[in-house]
Amino acid sequence: MAPISIQTVLISESVDPRCKAILEENGIRVTEKPNMKRDELMAEIKDYDGLVVRSATKVNADVISAAHNLKIIGRAGTGVDNVDVDAATKKGIIVMNTPSGNTISAAELTCALLMSLSRNVPQAAMSMKQGNWDRKKFMGAELYGKVLGIVGLGRIGKEVASRMQSFGMRTIGYDPITTPEVTAGWGVEQMSLEQLWPQCDYITVHTPLMPSTVGLLCDETFAKCKKGVKVVNCARGGIIDEAALLRALESRQCGGAGLDVFVEEPPKNRSLVEHPNVISCPHLGASTKEAQARCGEDIALQIVDMVKGKSLVGVNQTHCASDGAASGVCKVEIVVDGSSYKASGSVQGGVPVLLELDDSVFRQPVSLTGNLLFFKASASPQLLSSVAGLLATEGVEIESFSAPTAHSGDLWYCVGVSSLPRDLSALKPLVKEAAHLTI
């Protein structure tokens, strides 16, 4: 993929000023136009090479078809469910996000909601403002010794687990991709959802919104939970079915809910927001100075890197060869610092996976999630242990390992790591090439 020419970028939401500054420092003209209606966006977008959004701008197929020059959609944040990625991909538009910039902020808000649910802090504060002094009404329960079920053990799920363990909660969870061995390392015992539901005093969901996660908590699964279970959704509206949640709150099967996200934002149906046992926020998970600074800066740097043809970090979808797209396999060519790499991948169970990189065909599809280190090296029985030893000196642990099918020659390997190593040059004695990225 040759460097992309981006001369103009439209920022359609409130994004940290560093984003505009970095783009402009790199010769890109930037226009900020927040709060546009759909028709205004469709009229405006035709003039731009790039678009930067958060979660409120719905970049649907109509907007994409009106975007005659668009080459990049940058999401300053994690979820890309507000972007029609398929429509963008078919038109050759790259969609990129900044998946780790707001992890800590979203995890901290989740913990704040869990704590508020246990001690009725928002309701008590409201009551005080109304002139009351009601100590009995707001009797709470300790989090200490309670069981927290975490559904979705990716970036945010992991950070929530470690924070709530410090309150003495037992953390159990479920994730189809992150392995039980890995989560055991951060104190989360994995089990099937059938085993998880009846054990939890609290449940928090941290998955993307996709067909397999819509209504994860529904009438059927609420019925399997402990009576009075409290739930938190700081991920995406709809992962907890809203109508089922209301029914469970009314029957007291659910003892309280902390909601940061809704199917429709802002929600026109106010039944949940107004329920006395619901604490809600207007999608504030990423709304901290720190998260916004990281996401704004990261997305600008990623766009600049794409323009210079030197980065694959943060690219979550790129051009699919049309024949490949029809068979579900996406073939891409990535150019990093002038070298070209051919990759093919697909989406399995909602998760993007890498099947081949150059001449290396992986034995198992490599899940493109978390911190990944790719390296090209001559096959040898000592390779993995030598790489693991070098990484360990930087405090980096290997969490998964993907080997190629072939056994000789220079081949690509991929390891999932606990964190990205600071300096890849330390690997030089062992490998021919290396690259790392967080997805």
Ligand X SMILES: NC(=O)c1ccc[n+]([C@@H]2O[C@H](COP(=O)([O-])OP(=O)(O)OC[C@H]3O[C@@H](n4cnc5c(N)ncnc54)[C@H](O)[C@@H]3O)[C@@H](O)[C@H]2O)c1
The one-character DSSP state at 434 is E
73 near ligand 3PG, judged by CB under 6 A: no
d(CA 314, CA 297): 13
3-class SS at 44? helix
d(CA 271, CA 339): 56
Q: How far is the CB of 369 from ligand X (least distance, A)?
A: 6
232 near ligand X, judged by CB under 6 A: no
- The interface region with ligand 3PG, picked from 16-24, 71-79, 197-205, 384-392 by CB under 6 A, is 71-79
3-class SS at 381? coil
User: DSSP string covering 292-313, please?
Assistant: HHHHHHHHHHHHHHHHTT---T
255 near ligand 3PG, judged by CB under 6 A: no
- The interface region with ligand X, picked from 179-187, 203-211, 383-391, 405-413 by CB under 6 A, is 203-211
Q: Which of 50, 74, 149, 154 binds ligand X (CB under 6 A)?
A: 154
180 near ligand X, judged by CB under 6 A: no
Tokens of 3: 């460097």
286 near ligand 3PG, judged by CB under 6 A: yes
Residue 418 · residue 411 · CB < 8 Å: no
Q: How far is the CB of 78 from ligand 3PG (least distance, A)?
A: 3
d(CA 432, CA 424): 11
Burial label, 82 (beta-carbon count in 10 A; 0-12, 13-18, 19+): middle
152 near ligand X, judged by CB under 6 A: yes
Out of 283, 294, 319, 436, the active site residue is 283
Residue 107 · residue 156 · CB < 8 Å: yes
Q: Which does 54 bind (CB under 5 to 8 A by kind): ligand 3PG, ligand X, none?
A: ligand 3PG
3-class SS at 256? strand
Q: Which does 207 bind (CB under 5 to 8 A by kind): ligand X, ligand 3PG, none?
A: ligand X
102 near ligand 3PG, judged by CB under 6 A: yes
Q: Tell me which H or E stretch contains 322.
A: helix 322-326
Residues identified as active-site: 236, 265, 283
Please report, as ranges, the residues that interact with ligand X according to CB under 6 A: 78-79, 99, 102-103, 106, 151-157, 174-178, 206-209, 212-213, 234-236, 260-261, 283, 285-286, 350-351, 369
Q: Note the residues at the interface with ligand 3PG (CB under 6 A).
A: 54-56, 77-79, 102, 283, 285-287
